[in-house]
């Protein structure tokens, strides 16, 4: 953007300035002589003041002083008695002095005004440059912010994809368990349906028994479809949706999926859930993922341990930290545990101690819990194995 | 003796599978008794008649395979039909080698289970017949005097009456007398019959 200039010439050269002073005095002299010759009028003083003002305004203090000097000489030589002499009459002397003083005042004022205007203009130019610079910086910053937002969005997307992938990997370890949870009710449905056919073939069928079998068929179909729904929820990459959740339900959901796997691996699972566990505001699928991951890790950690000692304890209780209420879930195994120097690396991406692991489970779990404003940490047990715990802030429930 | 009612035992920790399997087998006209764990099955007294066991492989704690091993060690020879969520081949092979009748994967066809149950019961019926005959023989054998048992052992070993008498330092007449008694007590119709009974009881001259 162009700034309006307060002066016609931003900074005339020194020669130019002095030349303008000389030329304006000469022009004034010619004009005064013409006026005197044709109209017999003598407005010399004001004309010379104009020349001085113009010179001082255009060329600054020094050019002004030169114009004053020249004007005094020209005034003395051409317009004071005796004419055409630099020595004025004594009675004309006060006029000459007055002219010189007035010229000096006019010149000085004009020069001062010019210099004030000039510094004002400089300040203004400076300001304009600064504003320009600021605007450029701002534009660059704005661009950076946009870029950063884009990167952030891409990061979130990658994180979500990774969480989804890790979830699928964890679920992959439980396929047998999940199939079992569907096959159990399916087996019962087939058995009951065939039993019904047999019962109805008799002359006088026991309708009470048939009714009971049909009721069980419905219950088992419901049970199978509930498992399928749970699995589908976990498997699909749905966007995050926070709702009020009871962590006891999350524990039970996860154990339904892992129950058969734990039996197959001869791991006993005990739950110690407190009824006073506060509700949390969280994404159900993500919390299931975290807990599923901790449970599978715990079972993996105990695979090398004698079967009778494979015990996984899941505790849920209310905790108070810094006078705020939290829900705390811990998963304690009796496995091989970890070395104390490993504790920080456990949560690093791609860090794994499992031969078939990809080392994303705990890293993703921690980022999920931290996204929910909570903490996830690991501790060595006193006797054997490790305990992984996470806490989430209790949801604020509006009391009516 | 052979018309004693057969019974099917079901051991499964899942309530709906247990109940529905029970209903299926009961609706086929068989007696059923259910248990929710291997330990419970071992604790309860079992009726003597022909029986078979429908057993879930994977149960928390004491698995179906563990129970099969335990029963073998206890000398309880009951035909087992395994049912499993997903059977690995090694597991199936191990179970079949240990004498399982059938290995069914859930969800199984009801007819497959009923067929397996019938053939298992058939197998156990003849085993039961043999078991009860041996038992009857043993009861008869218990009625013999120690002297008669000695005589039976020697006769079964193929000795003539004269040789038996010499062996036991007595007369041939006495031996003939003992033999008649033994034949009567054991319910044998001929000498060959008696020898076969002795073999079945594992009676030998050393014993």
Looking at domain B7-133, its CATH class is: alpha beta
Vertex B119: Cα angle to B116 and B124 (nearest 5): 120
A220 close to B (CB below 8 A)? yes
CA–CA gap between residue A3 and residue A26 (Å, rounded): 35
Query: B7 — phi, psi (to 5°)?
Result: -140, 145
Query: A180 — phi, psi (to 5°)?
Result: -60, -45
| pLDDT tens track for B12-32 | 988 889 999 999 999 989 999
pLDDT at B1 over 60: no
| Nearest CB partner across the interface for B85, out of A179, A209, A223 | A179
DSSP state of A173: T
pLDDT at A399 over 50: no
pLDDT at B82 over 60: yes
Specify whether A257 is located in the same domain as A375.
yes
Specify whether A400 is located in the same domain as A251.
yes
Whether the CB-CB separation of B124 and B99 falls below 8 Å is answered with: no
Vertex A237: Cα angle to A234 and A242 (nearest 5): 75
CA–CA gap between residue A178 and residue A199 (Å, rounded): 32
Specify whether A294 is located in the same domain as A400.
yes
pLDDT at A148 over 70: yes
Residues of A in contact with B113 (CB under 8 A): 191
Range name among A43-47, A105-109, A324-328, A382-386 with the lowest pLDDT average? A43-47
CA–CA gap between residue A30 and residue A51 (Å, rounded): 12
Q: How far apart are the first and last CA of chain A?
A: 60
Contact B24 A191 (CB under 8 A): yes
ipTM above 0.90, yes or no: no
Alpha helices, DSSP H, located in A202-303: 207-235, 247-264, 284-301
Identify whether A352 is part of a domain: yes
CATH code of the domain containing A247: 3.30.565.10
CA–CA gap between residue B111 and residue B106 (Å, rounded): 13
Identify whether A167 is part of a domain: no
Whether the CB-CB separation of B110 and B174 falls below 8 Å is answered with: no
CA–CA gap between residue A215 and residue A198 (Å, rounded): 17
Task: Please identify among residues 134-193 of chain B the ones whose CB lies closer than 8 Å to any CB of chain A.
Answer: none
Identify whether A263 is part of a domain: yes
CA–CA gap between residue A345 and residue A150 (Å, rounded): 30
Specify whether A360 is located in the same domain as A306.
yes
Identify whether A155 is part of a domain: no
Whether the CB-CB separation of A171 and A234 falls below 8 Å is answered with: yes
Q: What is the predicted pLDDT for the residue at A43?
A: 62
Buried-state track B31-52, b at ≥16 Cβ within 10 A, e below 16: ebebbbbbbebbeeeeeebbbb
Identify whether A157 is part of a domain: no
What beta strand segments (E) does chain B contain? 7-11, 31-35, 51-56, 80-84, 100-105
Structural domain boundaries in chain B: 7-133, 144-201
Specify whether A224 is located in the same domain as A312.
no
Residue-averaged pLDDT of chain A:
85
Q: What is the predicted pLDDT for the residue at B31?
A: 93
Q: For residue A400, what is the enclosing H or E element?
A: none
Specify whether A252 is located in the same domain as A392.
yes
Specify whether A184 is located in the same domain as A275.
no
Residue of B nearest to A221 (CA): B16
pLDDT at B2 over 50: no
Identify whether A122 is part of a domain: yes
Q: What is the predicted pLDDT for the residue at A400?
A: 42
The residue among A86, A108, A136 that closes a domain is A136
Range of the domain at A115: 14-136
Specify whether A324 is located in the same domain as A257.
yes
Q: Which two tokens stand for residue A275?
A: 């009824």
Residues of B in contact with A209 (CB under 8 A): 23, 27
Specify whether A51 is located in the same domain as A199.
no
Beta bridge partners, B159, equal none
Specify whether A299 is located in the same domain as A365.
yes
B7-133 against B144-201: fold identical:
no
Vertex A67: Cα angle to A62 and A68 (nearest 5): 95
Query: A334: Cβ–Cβ under 8 A, 6 or more apart, which residues?
Result: A302, A305, A309, A310, A311, A312, A381, A383, A384, A385
Beta bridge partners, A270, equal A313
Strand A311-321 versus strand A324-332 pairing type: antiparallel
Q: Which two tokens stand for residue B53?
A: 């066991």
Beta bridge partners, A121, equal none
Query: B202 — phi, psi (to 5°)?
Result: 70, 30
What sign does the dihedral B72-B78-B83-B88 (CA atoms) show?
positive
The residue among A213, A236, A259 that closes a domain is A236
B26 close to A (CB below 8 A)? yes
What sign does the dihedral A364-A370-A374-A377 (CA atoms) show?
positive
Neighbours of B207 (CB within 10 A): 9
Q: What is the predicted pLDDT for the residue at A245?
A: 92
Whether the CB-CB separation of B65 and B53 falls below 8 Å is answered with: no
Residue B138, helix vs strand vs coil: helix
| pLDDT tens track for B100-153 | 888 998 888 888 999 999 999 998 888 888 888 888 888 888 888 888 888 888
Residue A14, helix vs strand vs coil: helix
One of 2.60.120.10, 3.40.630.10, 1.10.10.10, 3.30.230.10 is the CATH number of B144-201, namely 1.10.10.10
Q: What is the mean pLDDT of residues A144-172?
A: 85
Q: Work out how many domains chain A is built from and give that number.
A: 3
CA–CA gap between residue A99 and residue A82 (Å, rounded): 17
Specify whether A285 is located in the same domain as A398.
yes
Identify whether A151 is part of a domain: no
- Residue B23 to chain A, least CA–CA distance (Å): 6
In chain A, the percentage of residues whose pLDDT exceeds 90 is 31
Task: Please identify among residues 101-140 of chain B the ones whose CB lies closer than 8 Å to any CB of chain A.
Answer: 106-111, 113
Query: A273 — phi, psi (to 5°)?
Result: -105, 130
Identify whether A143 is part of a domain: no
Contact B24 A199 (CB under 8 A): no
- Quote the crossing angle between the two packed helices B15-27 and A175-201, to the nearest 10°: 30
A185 close to B (CB below 8 A)? yes
Q: What is the predicted pLDDT for the residue at B91?
A: 78
Residues of B in contact with A192 (CB under 8 A): 20, 23-24
CA–CA gap between residue A361 and residue A289 (Å, rounded): 9
Q: What is the predicted pLDDT for the residue at B26?
A: 92
Specify whether A220 is located in the same domain as A316.
no
Return the biggest CA–CA distance within chain B.
Answer: 72
Radius of gyration in angstroms for the set of CA atoms belonging to chain B, rounded to a whole number: 23
Query: B27 — phi, psi (to 5°)?
Result: -70, -15
Q: What is the predicted pLDDT for the residue at A211?
A: 93
CA–CA gap between residue B135 and residue A85 (Å, rounded): 171
Q: Which of B8, B20, B81, B86 is the best substitution to test chain A (most A C-beta atoms within 10 A)?
A: B20
């Amino acid at each position: 953007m162009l700034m309006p200039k307060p002066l016609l010439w931003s900074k005339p050269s020194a020669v130019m300035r002095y030349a303008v002073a000389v030329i304006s005095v000469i022009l004034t002299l010619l004009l005064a002589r013409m006026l005197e010759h044709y109209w017999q009028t003598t407005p010399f003083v004001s004309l010379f003041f104009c020349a001085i003002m113009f010179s001082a305004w255009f060329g600054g203090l020094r050019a002004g002083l030169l114009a004053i000097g020249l004007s005094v000489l020209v005034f003395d030589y051409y317009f004071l008695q005796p004419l055409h002499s630099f020595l004025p009459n004594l009675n004309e002397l006060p006029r000459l002095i007055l002219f010189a003083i007035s010229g000096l005042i006019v010149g000085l004022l004009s020069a001062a005004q010019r210099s004030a205007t000039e510094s004002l203009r400089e300040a203004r130019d400076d300001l304009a440059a600064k504003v320009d610079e600021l605007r450029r910086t701002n534009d660059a910053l704005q661009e950076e912010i946009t870029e950063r937002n884009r990167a952030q969005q891409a990061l979130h997307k990658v994180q979500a994809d990774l969480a989804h992938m890790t979830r699928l990997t964890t679920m992959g370890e439980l396929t047998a368990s999940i199939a079992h949870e569907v096959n159990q009710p399916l087996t019962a449905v087939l058995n009951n349906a065939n039993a019904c056919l047999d019962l109805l073939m008799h002359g006088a069928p026991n309708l009470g028994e048939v009714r009971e079998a049909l009721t069980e068929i419905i219950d088992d179909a419901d049970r199978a479809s509930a498992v399928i729904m749970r699995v589908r929820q976990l498997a699909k990459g749905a966007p995050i949706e926070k709702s009020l959740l009871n962590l006891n339900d999350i524990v039970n959901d996860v154990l339904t999926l892992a129950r058969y796997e734990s039996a197959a691996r001869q791991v006993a699972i005990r739950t110690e859930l407190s009824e006073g566990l506060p509700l949390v505001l969280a994404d159900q699928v993500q919390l299931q993922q975290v807990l599923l991951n901790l449970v599978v890790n715990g079972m993996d950690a105990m695979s090398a341990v004698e079967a009778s000692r494979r015990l996984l304890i899941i505790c849920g209780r209310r905790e108070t930290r810094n006078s705020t209420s939290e829900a705390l879930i811990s998963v304690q195994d009796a496995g091989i545990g970890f070395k104390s120097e490993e504790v920080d690396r456990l949560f690093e991406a791609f860090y794994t101690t499992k031969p078939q692991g990809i080392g994303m489970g705990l890293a993703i779990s921690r980022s999920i819990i931290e996204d929910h404003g909570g903490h996830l940490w690991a501790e060595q047990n006193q006797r054997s194995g490790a305990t992984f715990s996470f806490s989430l802030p209790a949801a604020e429930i509006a009391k009516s | 003796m052979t018309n004693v009612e057969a019974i099917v035992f079901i051991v499964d920790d899942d309530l709906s599978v247990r109940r529905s399997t029970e209903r299926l087998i009961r609706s086929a006209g068989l007696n059923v008794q259910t248990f929710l764990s291997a330990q419970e099955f071992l604790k309860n007294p079992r009726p003597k008649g022909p029986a078979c066991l429908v057993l879930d492989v994977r149960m928390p704690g004491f698995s179906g395979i563990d129970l099969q091993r335990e029963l073998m060690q206890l000398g309880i020879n009951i035909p087992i039909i395994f049912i499993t969520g997903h059977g690995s081949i090694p597991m199936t092979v191990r179970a079949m080698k240990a004498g399982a009748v059938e290995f069914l994967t859930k969800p199984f066809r009801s007819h497959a289970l009923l067929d397996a149950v019938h053939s298992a019961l058939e197998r156990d019926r003849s085993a039961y017949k043999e078991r009860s005959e041996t038992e009857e023989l043993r009861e008869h054998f218990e009625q013999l005097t120690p002297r008669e048992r000695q005589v039976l052992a020697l006769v079964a070993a193929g000795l003539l009456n004269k040789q038996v008498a010499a062996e036991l330092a007595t007369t041939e007449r006495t031996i003939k007398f003992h033999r008649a008694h033994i034949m009567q007590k054991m319910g044998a119709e001929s000498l060959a019959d008696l020898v076969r009974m002795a073999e079945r009881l594992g009676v030998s001259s050393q014993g």
